[in-house]
Amino acid sequence: MNGQSYRQLRRSTAALLATALALAGCGGHFEVPVPILSAPAIPPPTAEPATITLPIAIALSKIRIQLDSVFPPADSLDRAKCTAMGGLVCHQYLYRRDSLDLRASGDRVTLQTHLRYRAAVGLPGVGGIASCGFPPEAMKRAEVRLGTTLYWRSDWRLGARGTSLATTLADRCEVTLLHVDATSLVKRILDGQNNELRRQIDSLLPTVLDLRGAADSLWHVAQQPLALDSGSTFWLTLSPQTVSLAPVIGSASAISTALVLTARPRVTVGAKPSVETQPLPSLTLARRSSGIHVPVEVELPFSEMSQKVTALLSGETAGKGMRVGEVKLWGVGDTAVVMLALEGKVNGSLYLLGRVSYDSTSRAVLLSDLRYTLASHDMMSRVKSTLGAGRIKSAIDAATGKGHLAVGEQLDSLRSRLTQELNRELAPGVRLAGSVNDVRFSRMFTTQNAFVLRVVLDGEAVILVQ
């Protein structure tokens, strides 16, 4: 509080002070006016939500392995399967393919491979069997191309839509002896194979990546209060709001996305906060973001600090027939108010004022220039022979760590606990790995119930899919 404020306070309490001193002189109850402070500054804007972005990369090799299971490097169809696939009299179909050239760009995945085949088919209306690609003739050549668009299904699985698959025959299947060109018949067989392969791929991709278990685990953990000290008196509550997935983006070697969690975290002092667990919300798409950015509000409730100071001073002898009954602390703007209640032969309340700030070097909330108001100082002078004002002042300073409310240990614990929570198994084969790299001070302000320290934690983490 500046000098002008104290002069205003002196004028506003002058009349009441005379009455208070008169009552004190009678050896009974005295009244010191409650400090009238100017209206607090406009509270700071609401902190932006915490954003925890967890990148996820799925190697294309993982998808390629799955595709190998439905489109093996070599296969042979017997007469029954061949006929069912081609819709004609098919006696045999065999192919061998090259490796799968799988690529991704944006949300589009393409596949290309070359294969060699031989086939034997019946000739409708002609009779006999036409074949090509059998020894001594070389196997015939064909090219297979696939394209599909990836998206997130509502069940948190990777989906495919608009899948197209086409085969181009590089060689014709001609039977010279019978003067028959069986290319169109063989093409029907390959088209039938493509249709079956397309259905299998559309069914396969949702099994490649299912993130519901990971999202549900992260959502559940984020709702649980975390103790930041061994005595379970400081608690971090993340209060998650949304959990979503970033659109799929492909590259030369992988497809990537991110699990994005938004929250309104805060740190409180006292008993474990009660929370009502909410189920995993419906899947939504998130905007692209990066890293972990967590603004946290560390609350130092007036009630908790008042109880602590009162416990330390309870029963403290102020003078013959007097003791300290209760201490209350609150704040207005950047000013802290301490009320000291005396009980016994003389009873009433004295007030001290101090300036509140945060010191980044000592990582402490400072109550500097703590001193009595004018009315309280004059009242102490009136009863100084029995009160021991200096002793009370020293006790208050000692109870608040000489005006230093250290929060550095809690900030270290906050960083450590968040790092711990960023390293865990989210689901079978899905692991979270990361760390908080920095904790920095943003601002400090007061509310009706607490001093509030706003800090920002920055870090990085990824989700590893095995």
Mean pLDDT check: name the lowest of 157-171, 269-283, 392-406: 392-406
Q: Which residues contact 2 (CB under 8 A, 6 or more apart)?
A: none
Nearest to 1 by CA among 462, 356, 427: 356
Clarify whether residues 335 and 299 are in a common domain.
yes
Rounded to whole angstroms, how far apart are CA atoms 296 and 458?
11
Clarify whether residues 237 and 154 are in a common domain.
no
Last residue of a domain, one of 206, 225, 242: 206
State the pLDDT at residue 17.
37
Clarify whether residues 21 and 161 are in a common domain.
no
Q: Which residues contact 84 (CB under 8 A, 6 or more apart)?
A: 192
Q: Which long-range contacts (CB under 8 A, 24 or more apart) does 33-36 make?
A: 33/375, 34/339, 34/351, 35/9, 35/337, 35/351, 35/353, 35/373, 36/9, 36/12
Residue 306: is its pLDDT beyond 70? Answer: yes
Q: Is residue 64 part of a domain?
A: no
State the pLDDT at residue 367.
83
Quote the distance between the C-alpha of residue 101 and its chain's center.
36
User: Tokens 């209306």 — which residue?
Assistant: 125
Cα separations in angstroms, 414 against 114, 235, 236, 238: 56, 9, 8, 11
Last residue of a domain, one of 189, 206, 223: 206
Clarify whether residues 35 and 75 are in a common domain.
no
Clarify whether residues 327 and 451 are in a common domain.
yes
Residue 13: is its pLDDT beyond 80? Answer: no
- b/e string for 194-227 if b means 16 or more Cβ within 10 A? bebbbeebeebbeebbbbeebbbbbbeebbebbe
State the pLDDT at residue 365.
87
% pLDDT > 90, the chain: 29
Clarify whether residues 268 and 129 are in a common domain.
no
Q: Kindly indicate the confidence band of residue 191, based on its pLDDT and cuts at 50, 70 and 90.
A: confident
Clarify whether residues 184 and 251 are in a common domain.
no
Q: Which class for 276: exposed (0-12), middle (13-18), buried (19 or more C-beta within 10 A)?
A: exposed
Clarify whether residues 8 and 100 are in a common domain.
no
User: Tokens 């969690």 — which residue?
Assistant: 261
Q: Which class for 92: exposed (0-12), middle (13-18), buried (19 or more C-beta within 10 A)?
A: middle
Rounded to whole angstroms, how far apart are CA atoms 426 and 463?
9
Q: Kindly indicate the confidence band of residue 432, based on its pLDDT and cuts at 50, 70 and 90.
A: very high
Identify residue 248 by its one-letter amino acid code.
V
Nearest to 165 by CA among 203, 138, 191: 191
Clarify whether residues 255 and 348 are in a common domain.
yes
Q: Kindly indicate the confidence band of residue 2, based on its pLDDT and cuts at 50, 70 and 90.
A: very low
Q: Which residues contact 419 (CB under 8 A, 6 or more apart)?
A: 434, 435, 436, 459
Last residue of a domain, one of 184, 206, 228: 206
Q: Is residue 65 part of a domain?
A: no
CA dihedral for 286, 290, 291, 295, sign (positive or negative): negative
Residue 263: is its pLDDT beyond 90? Answer: yes
State the pLDDT at residue 269.
80
Q: Which residues contact 26 (CB under 8 A, 6 or more apart)?
A: none
What percentage of the chain's residues is helix, strand, coil (to nearest 5)?
Answer: 30, 45, 30
Residue 15: is its pLDDT beyond 50? Answer: no
Clarify whether residues 96 and 48 are in a common domain.
no
The alpha carbons of the chain give a radius of gyration, in whole angstroms, of 38
Rounded to whole angstroms, how far apart are CA atoms 351 and 457?
37
CA dihedral for 228, 229, 230, 231, sign (positive or negative): negative
Q: Check: CB of residue 296 under 8 Å from CB of residue 265.
A: yes
**DSSP letter (8 states) at residue 177:** T
Residue 340: is its pLDDT beyond 80? Answer: yes
Q: Is residue 454 part of a domain?
A: yes
- Collapsing DSSP states into helix, strand and coil, what is residue 257? strand
Total of domains in the chain: 2
Clarify whether residues 256 and 381 are in a common domain.
yes
User: What residues are paired with 406 via a beta bridge?
Assistant: 364
Instruction: Give residue 44's domain range.
Output: 1-59+211-466
**Is the entire prediction scored with pTM above 0.85?**
no
Q: Is residue 147 part of a domain?
A: yes
Clarify whether residues 264 and 165 are in a common domain.
no
Nearest to 121 by CA among 193, 187, 182: 182
Rounded to whole angstroms, how far apart are CA atoms 96 and 76?
9
Mean pLDDT check: name the lowest of 18-22, 137-141, 144-148, 361-365: 18-22
Mean pLDDT of 410-414: 87
User: What residues are paired with 419 via a beta bridge?
Assistant: none
